[in-house]
Amino acid sequence: MERKERLVLLVIILCAPQIHAPPIEDIAVVASVGVAIIAGIVSLPNLYCHFTECCEDKNSADIAGLQTALRWRVFGQHLVSETVLKALVGHLNDEAPNKALAISFNGWTGSGKNFVSKIIAEHIFKKGMKSNYVHLIIATHHYPHQSDVEIYKRQLRDLVERSVSKCPRSMFIFDEMDKMPLGLVDVLKPYLDYHPPGAGKIDFRQSIFIFLSNTGGDLINAAVIKHWKDGKKREDIKIKEMDEVIKQGEFDDKGGFWHSSLIEKHLIDYFIPFLPLERSHIKLCAEAELRRKGHPVSELIFNKVADELSYFPKDLEVFSQSGCKKISSKVDYVMGRMRTMEISIFIALSDRPG
Ligand SMILES: Nc1ncnc2c1ncn2[C@@H]1O[C@H](COP(=O)(O)OP(=O)(O)OP(=O)(O)O)[C@@H](O)[C@H]1O
Ligand SMILES: [Mg+2]
């Protein structure tokens, strides 16, 4: 028996003496107690889902919150904010989508692919990345050896089927797609394809698959550098021009999608480009990190943190080599040095005669 059903049973047992308590002729009392119990039982699943996580809890998705988070917490990725929201809203609002949602996040290191996946999970599932319905698969950790690809295929099939049968609205995040053993993702084809489920079969069409990779990152960077050199605004970069760039990368680079049936059968619904981050975005990441750690915030500190990173291309030094990835340790370093400097100034001042 499910935990929820056990709870319902417990409530009925606890309430049973009250049903018999009033005199039998007092029909009004009996009726009102009965109504109360039925109302309690009906609302019990909602109550239960209020305190814990339920697959069928339709209210757990917070689209307005997702929109706000993508807008204010993700820096320099206008194409990501626009497209991710559109893709998810369309899929979540559709009671019977005709296929599972498959999104590929492509781009340079430290541009926010894991960060955005985490934000999505937090706004669709009550427990975010810790949800029982969110599965993070990291290529080098879960599937390290090309020679074991046949074993991995069985494991992956089993994971997806077991999870979706428990909760149709399951989410799978595949990190380091470019390091997946070749041929492995082909097993996902039946789950991503336009198959109506047979009677009694598992319906995969409500599930969400997100693939993260650096594939096409250098092509995206080259396109963004060209755009920058042409003096055009970053926000004018359109999803369509980047789409072509990423697809080229997916075809050329020997990553996990290389010649996979997911690409060849056009089963990835959206390729979302993560653009290389500029110094101004690095400063915003520094500010967010300083606030998170409870440090004072100032332009001087943002600049000190930004100065700690390397930028490309060599002649222009516009885009961060490591994106916002090393910001946390750089903030610690800069704050540590500032504190040491403050202490030495304090000592120097207190040593002065008079
Ligand atoms: N666009 C961004 N806006 C705000 N913060 C960001 C952004 N990109 C990265 N960050 C910050 O940097 C950290 C590291 O980024 P993240 O792990 O998402 O990079 P990634 O794109 O997955 O890189 P990799 O390709 O190396 O795996 C995040 O946890 C977040 O704090
Ligand atoms: Mg990552």
Nearest CA to ligand 1 atom 4: 74
- Select from 215, 200, 235, 186 the least CA-distant residue to 113: 215
How far does residue 327's CA lie from ligand 2's centre (Å)?
A: 14
- Select from 282, 281, 222, 279 the least CA-distant residue to 246: 222
- Select from 146, 145, 144, 178 the least CA-distant residue to 250: 178
The finding on whether 247 has its CB within 6 A of some atom of ligand 1 is no
* Amino acid 184: pLDDT: 94
* Mean pLDDT by groups of 10 residues along the chain of 354 residues: 51 52 63 64 66 80 95 97 94 92 96 98 95 97 97 98 95 95 93 80 94 92 95 94 81 68 86 96 97 94 96 96 96 89 65 60
The finding on whether 113 has its CB within 6 A of some atom of ligand 1 is yes
Q: Is 107 left (phi over 0), alpha (psi -120 to 50) or beta?
A: left
The finding on whether 115 has its CB within 6 A of some atom of ligand 1 is yes
- Select from 3, 119, 123, 118 the least CA-distant residue to 60: 123
CA distance 211 to 38: 45
Q: Where are the alpha helices (DSSP H) in 52-169?
A: 63-73, 78-93, 113-124, 139-142, 149-166
Any known ligand binding at 113?
yes
* Amino acid 261: pLDDT: 78
The domain segmentation of the chain, as residue ranges, is 63-274, 279-351
Q: Taking the mean position of all CA atoms in its chain, how far away is CA 151?
A: 27
How far does residue 244's CA lie from ligand 1's centre (Å)?
A: 23
* Amino acid 199: pLDDT: 65
Which ligand has its closest atom nearest to the C-alpha of 288? 1
How far does residue 354's CA lie from ligand 2's centre (Å)?
A: 57
Confirm if 146 and 182 have CB atoms less than 8 A apart: yes
Which ligand has its closest atom nearest to the C-alpha of 217? 1
* Amino acid 48: pLDDT: 72
pTM of the model: 0.85
The finding on whether 285 has its CB within 6 A of some atom of ligand 1 is yes
Tokens representing residue 8 in the block = 């319902």
Q: Is 63-274 a domain of CATH 3.40.50.300? A: yes
